[in-house]
């Protein structure tokens, strides 16, 4: 199936080294305050909202708030939205991309801390379960998260307490990988991506962060999804291990490591 090239609107006067990506689905109520907060903490960064097939005014509100907007023709999920964003960032020559939730749960003031950690890593995760904040999950999802964290930590060779966190930053090395080889499946965009990065000899680190409550909208998790979470986690791990070796693009320092 051929997907039309997403339309990108708004002019960007200059290239900033950091691109803040906000994947958004029907976040018209929360997107403007999030953009404003990102700009207050990262005034030199560019902000790209990936409107993932929203049926509300997410794109219009984001554009009015001063962000660039990439409009996908239909909903691809966070993985598909981020793959499109990574490809855009790669082609535009950015050397640092950070993914931030459009619902206000991630604190943009932590972006600076992630970038500090990026000095010694290629992928930095903003980890919720690393001793900061009081965010918690319960029931089957909690068990799945613990199993996943333990398994992923062994697979990638570094402690990871929050492998499904959507708050993460990548440098040019990881961008060269994710722009062409980023998983789009549910959980794959977070779990499988870490395994791919590890297999490409990229360095992974995490920074403890506190998660906030949504400012608006409805959480994507419901009773049915929570009950199926563990099965999806196991599937994601199997797919990550069985997936073909990632392609290391020319010019990346990971290329020499993988040789």
Residue-wise pLDDT tens digits, 89-99: 999 999 999 99
Indicate whether 216 pLDDT > 90. Answer: no
Q: pTM of this prediction?
A: 0.82
Third-level CATH fold of 7-254: Spore Coat Polysaccharide Biosynthesis Protein SpsA; Chain A (3.90.550)
Q: For 162-194, how does the pLDDT look when each residue is reduced to its tens digit (9 = 90+)?
A: 888 999 999 999 999 999 989 877 666 788 899
For residues 155 and 176, what is the distance between their CA atoms, to the nearest angstrom?
22
Residue 71: helix, strand or coil by DSSP?
strand
pLDDT tier at 14, thresholds 50, 70, 90: very low
Distance of CA 31 to the CA centre of its chain: 16
Q: Let me know how long the chain is.
A: 259
Which pLDDT value is given to residue 94?
Answer: 95
Alpha helix ranges (H) inside 67-205 = 77-92, 111-117, 139-156, 172-181, 193-199
How high is the pLDDT of residue 33? 97
Strands 46-51 and 18-24: parallel
45 closest CA partner among 5, 99, 9: 99
130-145: buried (b, 16+ CB within 10 Å) or exposed (e) per residue? beeeeeebeeebeebb
Determine what percent of the chain is predicted with pLDDT higher than 90: 56
Residue 6 in contact with residue 71, Cβ under 8 Å? yes
For the stretch 60-85, pLDDT in tens is: 999 999 999 999 999 999 999 999 99
């Amino acid at each position: 199936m051929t997907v039309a090239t997403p339309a990108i609107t708004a002019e960007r006067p200059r290239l900033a080294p950091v691109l803040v990506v906000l994947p958004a689905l029907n976040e018209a109520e929360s997107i403007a305050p999030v953009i404003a907060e990102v700009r207050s903490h990262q005034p030199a960064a560019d902000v790209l909202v990936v409107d993932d097939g929203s049926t509300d005014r997410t794109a219009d509100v984001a554009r009015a708030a001063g962000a660039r907007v990439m409009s996908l023709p239909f909903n691809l999920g966070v993985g598909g939205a981020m793959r499109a964003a990574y490809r855009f960032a790669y082609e535009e020559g950015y050397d640092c991309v950070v993914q931030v939730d459009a619902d206000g749960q991630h604190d943009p003031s932590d972006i600076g801390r992630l970038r500090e950690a990026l000095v010694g890593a290629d992928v930095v995760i903003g980890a919720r379960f690393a001793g900061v904040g009081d965010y918690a999950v319960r029931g089957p999802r909690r068990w799945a998260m613990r199993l996943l964290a333990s398994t992923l930590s062994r697979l990638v060779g570094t402690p990871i307490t929050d492998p499904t966190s959507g708050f993460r930053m990548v440098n040019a090395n990881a961008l060269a990988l994710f722009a062409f080889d980023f998983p789009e499946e549910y959980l794959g965009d977070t779990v499988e991506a870490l395994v791919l990065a590890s297999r490409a000899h990229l360095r992974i680190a995490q920074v403890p962060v506190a998660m906030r409550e949504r400012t608006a909208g409805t959480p994507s998790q419901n009773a049915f999804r929570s009950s199926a979470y563990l099965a999806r986690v196991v599937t994601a791990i199997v797919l990550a291990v069985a997936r073909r070796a990632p392609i290391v693009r020319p010019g990346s320092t990971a290329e020499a490591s993988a040789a």
